[in-house]
Amino acid sequence: MGSILLAPACGASSSFDTANGVSATTNTKHVGTLIAAGEDHTCAVRADSTVRCWGLNILGDLGNGNSTSSSVPVTVSGITNAVAVAAGWDDTCALESDDNVQCWGWVDDLKYDVANMPVTVSSIGNTTSVAAGCSYECVTLTGGTVQCWGFNTDGELGNGTTTDSSLPVTVSGITNATAIAAGCSHTCVVLSSGLVQCWGWNGNGVLGNGTTATNSPLPVTVSGITNAVAVASSWNNSCALLNDGTVHCWGWNGNGELGNGTRTIGTLPETVSGITDAVAIATGFSHSCAVLKGGAIQCWGFNNYGEIGNGTTLTINPLPVAVTGITNAIAVAAGSHHTCAMLNDNTVQCWGLNHDGQLGNGTTTDSNVPVTVTGF
């Protein structure tokens, strides 16, 4: 549910996972992440376009046809042409090269209680990116429109209602979206103009328009941001990556999630301190991370389980700190209390909470420094 972006290079498209904090270049049409983290599971696209997942699997989160959790990667059934993945609380979706979207896990919004193997989303086409929230999903389409489906209690589908929908509905007024992120009950998009718009739940100011508590079933503009290139959303806050390499966050800040050295809620975007060359961002339950130009990663926020990755635990970090030992990251994903990064050699490293094997190293032992995912 965290999200991330790789800043576009000249002549190439950038892929962003605004829902799961990850980004990587795929191709000129599809925009998405190669790695995504849910509450307690992680999924990533391999170089052969298959998807592998690891961690909690009670609700079919791993997509391999059973409900047995795994501390090492398992192959998602039937997907051979993935270009991006997005992970929600207990569900995951893959965008395929033919524009289809398949989802698995807790997908009640697709008229399945639990799907432990991928099912195809109905009635969409020309998909360019996908994001997964808490029991709802959204996609961007060619041309910049957005469609969402699933639970809609707080207006997270963005169509002006609070009526759930098992089929995709069009988000009102969005015609030029370039990137999308889903939190738990709110959604944000980057527009081609550089503006960010959000809709849904607005507790703790997660819509970024200077208000709290007033939900919006229609998109509202985040104040003061005019040059965003990516957005990441989590349970209680969102962050935007700007084209100058800075990162701005808003919403809940009780654990330093905004990265500005305070623990005061921000209903308007706050600048993350000291980061001027970010190329990707990700947001987890109570922590956030940025990939810097050159491949280092910095994280901030809650750190009870070592999810900041600097060798410490039980310390809140309201300012960014460097993740130990990573110098060649291309993407990052933040889950509930764990973090994973894809490196430029196509390996994956993870750190933080590991009680369900979400670090993927064959153990259930937490780690406050990165460990290598086995056999990815």
Q: Per-residue pLDDT tens for 344-365?
A: 999 999 999 999 999 999 999 9
Distance (Å, whole) CA 218 – CA 210: 16
Predicted confidence (pLDDT) per residue in 161-192, tens digit: 999 998 999 999 999 999 999 999 999 999 99
Report d(CA 139, CA 54) in Å as an integer: 24
Instruction: Report yes or no: 128 and 159 within 8 Å, Cβ to Cβ.
Output: no
Q: For residue 166, give the nearest of 157, 174, 179, 158 by alpha carbon.
A: 157
Q: What is the pLDDT of residue 213?
A: 84
Predicted local confidence at residue 108, as pLDDT: 59
Q: Per the structure, how many domains does the chain have?
A: 1
For 99-113, what is each residue's pLDDT tens digit? Answer: 999 999 987 544 556
In whole angstroms, what is the distance from residue 43 CA to residue 73 CA? 8
The contacts of residue 158 (CB under 8 Å, 6+ apart) are 138, 146, 148, 171, 172, 174, 187, 199, 200, 217, 218, 219
Q: In this structure, what CATH number is given to the domain that contains residue 92?
A: 2.130.10.30
Domain residues for the domain of 97 are: 4-372
pLDDT tens-place values along the chain, 376 residues long: 654 433 322 222 223 333 333 333 334 476 668 999 999 999 999 999 999 999 999 999 999 999 999 999 999 999 999 999 999 988 999 999 999 999 999 875 445 568 899 999 987 878 999 999 998 999 999 999 999 999 999 999 999 999 999 899 999 999 999 999 999 999 999 999 999 999 999 999 999 999 998 999 999 999 999 999 999 999 899 999 999 999 999 999 999 999 999 999 999 999 999 999 999 999 999 999 999 999 999 999 999 999 999 999 999 999 999 999 999 999 999 999 999 999 999 999 999 999 999 999 999 999 999 999 999 9
> Rounded distance, CA 368 to CA 312, Å?
6
Question: For the sheet containing 216-221, what is the strand order?
Answer: 177-182, 186-191, 196-200, 216-221
Angle at 25 between CA 148 and CA 260, to 5 degrees: 75
On whether the pTM is more than 0.85, the answer is: yes
Check if the beta carbon of residue 288 is closer than 8 Å to that of residue 281.
yes
CA distances from 272 to 141, 262, 264 (A): 31, 10, 13
60 token code pair: 């079919």
Using alpha carbons only, how large is the chain's radius of gyration in Å? 18
How large a percentage of the chain has pLDDT more than 90? 84
